[in-house]
Amino acid sequence: MDLIQKELLEEIADLHGVPAGAYNIRANGAAAARNTTANIDIVSKEDKPGIDIIIKPGTKKESVHIPVVISQTGLTDLVYNDFHIGDDCDVTIVAGCGIHNSGDGLSQHDGIHEFFVGKNSKIRYVEKHYGNGDGKGGKVMNPKTIIHLDENAYFYMDTVQIKGIDSTMRETEADLKDGAKLEISEKLMTHGEQKAETQFAVDLDGEGSSANVVSRSVARNDSYQMFRAKISGNNACAGHSECDAIIMDNAKVRAIPELEANNLDAELIHEAAIGKIAGEQLIKLMTLGLTEEEAEEMIISGFLK
């Protein structure tokens, strides 16, 4: 793995070396390194690109890292990664994709991740998308995440796209059985002429299931963001979605959250707000000696923290 790839890896997975536990590192469309443990197996798919990650029931305090780095211009990479997680697990999964494009070709990564989470299992899923490189070639990522939660499973998804992705269509679908709980935190920043579209669809099928989807985003320059979140309450359940966007410069933001109550005992709420940085906040920081740009940066980084 070269220096550029190592830098990308650090950025997307906080990895300074080989991670502990199970991992599968994909670089420029091919497997670069893999490790399995007694409880976590990783097997390459035979019918299509991608891997199966198989986590034994009862696996606790283990982690799986499956970062993808692309440093070759003009490469389009599509992978299907399936996570088969047994009952009673407690596992952290870190995925992420970094693209460095210094050429003129389009570099694109489409990752389709499907999670089958067993009863009572707790999963923390961290996903980070990042792009850099001075080339004129586009950096495109279309992550799709499908989550199936069995009874009383808990899934926390922390998804971040801070910089450098020209175009993205971020789709997440989830269905929840009795007592299952889903929490999603999205942080998104677009700049230049970037386009980002986010789409969540959550089916609260089980009794006592719940979902909380929170998205915070900043749209700068001439970028465009579209946020959609649909929560369907099909049983006694609780759903909440929230979308807060800061708009800057000539950016445009659209938010279309959707609630669907199909059951008397479904309680669904959403909120959304789009606006620019409050003038008072800027002035306060500027009286402390910051320039307007520094004050803006401070407010944005606090908002996306």
As to burial, measured by CB atoms within 10 angstroms (0-12 exposed, 13-18 middle, 19+ buried), residue 83 is buried
Stretch that binds its own copies, among 16-24, 86-94, 204-212, 260-268 (CB under 8 A): 260-268
Q: Least separation, in Å, of the C-beta of 66 and its own copies? A: 35
Which one of 88, 258, 282, 286 is in contact with its own copies (CB under 8 A)? 258
Q: Least separation, in Å, of the C-beta of 258 and its own copies? A: 4
Q: How far apart are alpha carbons 172 and 200 in whole angstroms?
A: 5
Closer CB to its own copies, residue 44 or residue 262? 262
Q: Least separation, in Å, of the C-beta of 210 and its own copies? A: 13
The answer to whether the CB of 40 falls within 8 A of the CB of 22 is yes
User: What track of x and - describes contact with its own copies for positions 94 through 133 (by CB under 8 A)?
Assistant: ----------------------------------------
Q: Least separation, in Å, of the C-beta of 264 and its own copies? A: 5
The answer to whether the CB of 82 falls within 8 A of the CB of 50 is yes
The answer to whether the CB of 55 falls within 8 A of the CB of 91 is yes
Stretch that binds its own copies, among 2-10, 48-56, 114-122, 242-250 (CB under 8 A): 242-250
Query: Is 1 among the residues that bind its own copies (CB under 8 A)?
Result: no
Q: Characterise 193 by phi-psi region: left (phi > 0), alpha (psi -120 to 50), beta (else).
A: alpha
Query: Residues with Cβ < 8 Å from 234, sequence gap 6 or more?
Result: 203, 204, 205, 262, 263, 266
Q: Least separation, in Å, of the C-beta of 129 and its own copies? A: 23
Query: Is 256 among the residues that bind its own copies (CB under 8 A)?
Result: yes
* Identity of the amino acid at 184: I
Q: E-assigned strands of 120-251? A: 122-132, 139-141, 144-149, 154-163, 167-176, 181-190, 195-204, 209-219, 224-233, 237-247
Cα–Cα nearest to 50, from 1, 113, 141: 113
Closer CB to its own copies, residue 131 or residue 206? 206
Angle, alpha carbons 161-175-304 (nearest 5°): 20
Stretch that binds its own copies, among 5-13, 146-154, 173-181, 251-259 (CB under 8 A): 251-259
Q: Least separation, in Å, of the C-beta of 186 and its own copies? A: 17
Footprint (CB under 8 A) of its own copies, residues 262-281:
262, 264-276
Query: Residues with Cβ < 8 Å from 278, sequence gap 6 or more?
Result: none
Closer CB to its own copies, residue 32 or residue 274? 274
User: What track of x and - describes contact with its own copies for positions 176 through 215 (by CB under 8 A)?
Assistant: ----------------------------------------
Cα–Cα nearest to 66, from 110, 25, 16, 17: 25
Q: Least separation, in Å, of the C-beta of 179 and its own copies? A: 20
Closer CB to its own copies, residue 182 or residue 245? 245
Angstrom CA distances, 1 to 57, 64, 214, 263, stand at 34, 19, 36, 53
Closer CB to its own copies, residue 140 or residue 255? 255
Backbone φ, ψ for residue 44 (5° rounding): -70, 140
Interacting residues toward its own copies by CB under 8 A: 233, 245, 247-262, 264-276
